[in-house]
């Protein structure tokens, strides 16, 4: 009795499985829908991964640009700090150049010719070294007075030079990469008082 029931149950299971396969074969629309759903899901995953990739690429580009800007800023700061150090050194060095100038002007006696040549050689080497690091002498003699580069301590009435012309340089001035380390100390020509009045009258008549 039990054996027959078992055979009957197995027969029913086979019929049920057959019916299920038959329904799937008879209704192919369910398989197409599942395939479409799978394709849509895959497309969504691909789109999400592509968006994440694009975001990571943009982040990497921004980080690279930030790092490049940081590197350039560090290099500028390092260069500027180096220039400030050289500038402080040259500010002290121009005093030594002044001493050489005074020594060369004082020892023009032929008896000191050999001494003078040695002094000139040292002075030239010192000046060339300073110039390689950006030191420049400010032009002043016979130049128009410029308060950005010259400091006038005296005015000289003269008709031999145009008004405002530097007639004497008392101390050389220097710049370092365009920045004034020390202005030139100068005397400036001014027109004699009578001549100035005549010029003013002539200007007024022309007006």
pLDDT tens figures, 106-146: 766 676 777 778 888 888 888 888 888 889 999 898 899 99
Whether the predicted pLDDT of 46 surpasses 50: yes
Residue labelled with tokens 């002539």: 202
Contact status, residue 133 vs residue 91, Cβ threshold 8 Å: no
Buried b (16+ CB within 10 A) or exposed e, 163-193: bebbbebeebbbbbeeeebbbbbbbbbbbee
Whether the predicted pLDDT of 4 surpasses 70: no
What is the spatial order of strands in the sheet that 135-137 belongs to? 135-137, 174-176, 179-182
Domain assignment present for residue 176? The answer is yes
pLDDT-based confidence at 8, cuts 50/70/90? low
Domain assignment present for residue 131? The answer is no
pLDDT digits (tens, 9 = 90+) for 149-191: 999 998 888 888 888 899 989 989 999 988 898 999 999 999 8
pLDDT (0 to 100) of residue 204: 39
Q: What is the mean pLDDT of residues 56-74?
A: 85
Structural Rg of the chain based on CA atoms: 47
pLDDT (0 to 100) of residue 186: 92
Whether the predicted pLDDT of 207 surpasses 90: no
- The number of beta carbons lying within 10 Å of the beta carbon of residue 135 is 23
Distances (CA, A) of 39 to 29, 33, 35, 134: 15, 10, 6, 71
Q: How far apart are CA 139 and CA 135, in angstroms?
A: 13
Please say which residue of 71, 103, 118 terminates a domain: 71
Strand 166-171 and strand 184-190: the pairing is antiparallel
pLDDT (0 to 100) of residue 198: 46
Choose among 102, 90, 99: nearest CA to 182: 90
The rounded mean pLDDT for the chain is 76
Domain assignment present for residue 92? The answer is no
Domain assignment present for residue 109? The answer is no
Whether the predicted pLDDT of 15 surpasses 50: no
Domain assignment present for residue 44? The answer is yes
53 is in which domain, residue-wise?
2-71
Please say which residue of 52, 71, 90 terminates a domain: 71
- The number of beta carbons lying within 10 Å of the beta carbon of residue 130 is 21
What's the total number of domains in the chain?
2
Choose among 167, 175, 179, 178: nearest CA to 140: 167
Domain assignment present for residue 177? The answer is yes
Strand 179-182 and strand 150-157: the pairing is unpaired
Please say which residue of 71, 92, 111 terminates a domain: 71
pLDDT (0 to 100) of residue 205: 39
CATH code of residue 200: 2.30.22.10
pLDDT-based confidence at 206, cuts 50/70/90? very low
Tell me phi and psi for residue 112, to 5 degrees: -105, 25
Q: What is the mean pLDDT of residues 89-114?
A: 78
Tokens of 93: 């060095």
Q: What is the mean pLDDT of residues 65-73?
A: 83
Q: What is the mean pLDDT of residues 85-101?
A: 84
Domain assignment present for residue 101? The answer is no
Residue 54 vs residue 16, higher pLDDT: 54
Domain assignment present for residue 175? The answer is yes
pLDDT (0 to 100) of residue 55: 87
Q: What is the mean pLDDT of residues 25-30?
A: 50
């Amino acid at each position: 009795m039990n054996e027959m029931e078992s055979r009957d149950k197995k027969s029913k299971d086979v019929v049920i499985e057959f019916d299920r396969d038959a329904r799937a074969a008879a209704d192919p629309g369910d398989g197409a829908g599942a395939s479409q759903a799978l394709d849509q899901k895959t497309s969504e995953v691909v789109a999400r991964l592509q968006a994440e990739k694009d975001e990571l690429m943009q982040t990497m580009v921004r980080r690279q640009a930030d790092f490049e800007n940081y590197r350039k800023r560090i290099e500028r700061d390092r260069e500027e700090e180096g220039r400030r150090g050289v500038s402080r050194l040259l500010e002290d060095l121009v005093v030594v150049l002044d001493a050489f100038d005074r020594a060369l002007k004082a020892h023009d006696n032929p008896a000191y010719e050999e001494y003078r040549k040695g002094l000139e050689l040292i002075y030239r080497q010192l000046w060339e070294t300073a110039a390689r690091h950006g030191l420049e002498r400010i032009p002043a003699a016979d130049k128009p007075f410029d308060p950005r580069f010259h400091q006038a301590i005296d005015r000289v009435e003269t008709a031999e030079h145009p008004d405002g012309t530097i007639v004497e340089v008392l101390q050389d001035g220097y710049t370092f990469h365009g920045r004034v380390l020390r202005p030139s100390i100068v005397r400036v020509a001014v027109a004699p008082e009578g001549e100035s009045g005549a010029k003013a009258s002539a200007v007024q008549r022309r007006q």
